[in-house]
């Protein structure tokens, strides 16, 4: 059917996060890995294109987003969503603002909103400042992220250097007054020449109000949670047809692999819990890989019983990440790990693995691309923002979950297996 909302996500876990929250509505959501090289066919009402552009050079991130936007327009979309991280992960150049501005130009939008709030995962915005739990972003563990360390908590200050037009704020006091007040505030800001409007939101009820008050905009930007109310809004407007509902999924055989390249505080805790539960595991680090290559890890993997869901992980504490980056450089250290985990995924698939649990956004991008998965259908949610997905790779049906670094509870790796066993 014709696509109603066309979404572009800057990384793969972010894309499954967004797709999972849209799919809570029961509507069919389809996720494409990269911009499809064929014309739209059998499209869903909600289409999400996953890019791997969060840390890409600005020009490349813009080019990828514009190509995605063209494909989504061809699929029929007239409304668009630009998804980035709920912790506003950016490089010094962008890419959140530059991509938003480029999309505004091609869509013909003179104003858009920025709302990375995700209350179920502890991301709240107040007076333009982003909080992770009770901590300002820049005091949270995101200050030590291996690729995008976040050292400021104020979204207006983070966004302003990334865009050429004026940045403003609609604060919580206005949001609390309801959708009409939100709309009026946007109009007033537009009159004053403000194109980029950051929105405060601390709970799901705020997101409902914002989604209602901004329904006239053709481009919205944010984390996944601000998109959650959209399916109901579109259904109320009569935009969703009879064939919009999602299909039922069955689980592939229980041969699994867990691949973890995230170094977030939560993934560190998840790995520690999985190890404590006695899972077979192999720890790698970029310095060891640079010296010995991937051979020893692949030999270990070849001997594993995949029904026990073995874990291969580079997940490490900030000090050891910093030590590897000092010797190899930030990009190279990350690339070595991503290349290894991507090779492990292909090796595991060829050895019979049919369920893949992957932790980390960049890591998920590397793994999914190596498996040459092109389209994911969205299945059950394991944790807020982390669904199981189903795809094909080398003629095999696979289940894959792509976990954002900071998402999920400490028992996530075990919980993921329980959720799919229950299908
Ligand atoms: N021990 C390590 N030392 C240095 N870099 C690492 C290490 N382990 C993983 N990395 C890299 O850190 C980055 C983590 O990013 P990502 O996978 O997006 O995780 P997250 O979802 O937590 O942001 C990846 O590029 C990964 O290859
Ligand atoms: O919005 C979010 O927090 C996630 O969807 C996301 O994008 C997280 O990125 P990674 O932590 O790099 O997986």
In the reported structure, the alpha carbon of residue 185 is separated from the centroid of ligand 2 by a whole-number distance in angstroms of 29
CA distance 296 to 420: 30
The CA 263 to ligand 1 mean position distance, Å, reads 5
Nearest CA to ligand 2 atom 3: 86
The predicted structure's pLDDT at residue 244: 66
Instruction: Choose among 46, 49, 101, 104: nearest CA to 77.
Output: 46
Of the candidates 260, 224, 23, 207, the one whose C-alpha atom is nearest the C-alpha of residue 121 is: 224
CATH class of 256-421: alpha beta
Sheet of 135-136, strands arranged across: 123-126, 129-132, 135-136
Smallest-distance ligand from the CA of 222: 2
* d(CA 202, ligand 2 centre) in Å: 18
Residue 301 · residue 343 · CB < 8 Å: no
> pLDDT > 90: what percent of the chain?
92
φ, ψ of residue 249 to 5 degrees: the values are -115, 150
Q: Which atom of ligand 2 is nearest to the CA of 404?
A: 13
Instruction: Report CA(13)–ligand 2 centroid distance (Å).
Output: 6
Which sequence spans correspond to the domains of the chain? 5-244, 256-421
Q: Which atom of ligand 1 is nearest to the CA of 267?
A: 22
Q: What is the pLDDT of residue 1?
A: 72
> Using CA of residue 410, residue 133, residue 114, residue 159, what is the dihedral sign?
negative
Q: 60: alpha, beta or left, given left = phi > 0 and alpha = psi -120 to 50?
A: alpha
Q: How far apart are CA 253 and CA 398, in angstroms?
A: 9
pLDDT < 70 positions in the chain: 243-244
pTM: 0.94
Ligand 1 closest atom vs CA 325: 4
Most ligand 2 atoms within 8 A of CB, residue of 18, 53, 56, 89 to mutate = 89
What contacts 238, CB < 8 A, 6 or more positions away?
Answer: none
261 pocket-lining for ligand 1 (C-beta < 6 Å)? yes
| Any ligand 1 atom below 6 A from CB of 125 | no
- For residue 115, the model assigns a pLDDT of 98
Selection from 223, 201, 211 nearest residue 87 by Cα: 223
**Closest atom of ligand 1 to CA, residue 13:** 21
What is the pLDDT at residue 145?
84
> How far are the Cα atoms of 188, 212, 230, 233 from residue 237, in angstroms, in the given order?
26, 12, 10, 6
Ligand closest to the CA atom of residue 318 = 1
pLDDT digits (tens, 9 = 90+) for 172-193: 999 999 999 999 999 999 999 9
Contact 361, 370 (CB under 8 A): no
Ligand 2 site, residue 17, Cβ cutoff 6 A? yes
**ipTM of model over 0.90:** yes
Which of 145, 259, 261 for mutating ligand 1's site (highest number of atoms within 8 Å of CB)? 261
What is the Cβ-side half-sphere exposure of residue 23, based on CA atoms within 13 angstroms? Answer: 29
Asked: is 5-244 a CATH 3.40.50.10840 domain? The reply is: yes
Per-residue b/e over 8-31, b at no fewer than 16 CB within 10 Å? Answer: bbbbbbbbbbbbbbbbebebbbbb
């Amino acid at each position: 059917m014709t696509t109603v909302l066309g979404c572009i996500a800057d990384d793969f876990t972010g894309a499954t996060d967004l797709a999972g929250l849209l799919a809570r509505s029961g509507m069919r959501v389809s996720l494409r890995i990269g911009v499809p090289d064929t014309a739209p066919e059998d499209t869903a009402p909600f289409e999400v294109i996953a890019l791997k552009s969060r840390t890409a050079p600005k020009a490349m991130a813009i080019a990828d987003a514009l190509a995605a936007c063209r494909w989504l327009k061809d699929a029929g979309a007239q409304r668009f969503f630009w998804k980035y991280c709920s912790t506003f992960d950016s490089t010094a150049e962008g890419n959140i603002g530059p991509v938003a501005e480029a999309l505004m130009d091609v869509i013909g939008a003179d104003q858009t909103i920025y709302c990375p709030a995700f209350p179920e995962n502890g991301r709240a915005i107040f007076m333009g400042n982003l909080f992770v739990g009770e901590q300002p972003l820049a005091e949270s563990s995101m200050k030590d992220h291996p690729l995008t360390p976040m050292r400021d908590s104020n979204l207006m200050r983070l966004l302003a250097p990334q865009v050429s037009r004026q940045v403003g704020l609609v604060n919580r006091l206005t949001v609390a007054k309801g959708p009409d007040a939100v709309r009026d505030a946007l109009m007033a800001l537009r009159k004053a020449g403000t194109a980029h409007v950051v929105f405060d939101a601390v709970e799901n009820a705020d997101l409902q109000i914002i989604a209602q008050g901004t329904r006239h905009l053709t481009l919205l930007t944010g984390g996944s949670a601000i998109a959650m109310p959209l399916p109901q809004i579109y259904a109320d407007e009569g935009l969703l047809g009879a064939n919009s509902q999602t299909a039922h999924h069955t689980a592939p055989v229980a041969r699994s692999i867990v691949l973890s390249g995230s170094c977030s505080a939560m993934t560190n805790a998840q790995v520690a819990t999985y190890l404590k539960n006695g899972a077979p595991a192999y720890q790698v680090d970029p310095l060891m890989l640079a010296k010995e290559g991937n051979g020893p890890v692949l030999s270990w993997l070849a001997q594993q019983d995949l029904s026990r869901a073995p874990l291969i992980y580079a997940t490490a504490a900030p000090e050891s990440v910093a030590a590897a980056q000092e010797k190899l450089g930030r990009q190279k250290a990350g690339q070595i790990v991503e290349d290894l985990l991507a090779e492990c995924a292909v090796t595991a698939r060829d050895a019979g693995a049919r369920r893949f649990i992957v932790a980390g956004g960049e890591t998920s991008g590397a793994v999914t691309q190596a498996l040459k998965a092109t389209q994911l259908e969205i299945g059950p949610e394991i944790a807020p923002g982390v669904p199981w997905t189903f795809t094909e790779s080398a003629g095999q049906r696979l289940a894959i979950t792509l976990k954002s670094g900071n998402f999920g509870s400490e028992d996530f790796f075990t919980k993921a297996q329980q959720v799919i066993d229950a299908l």
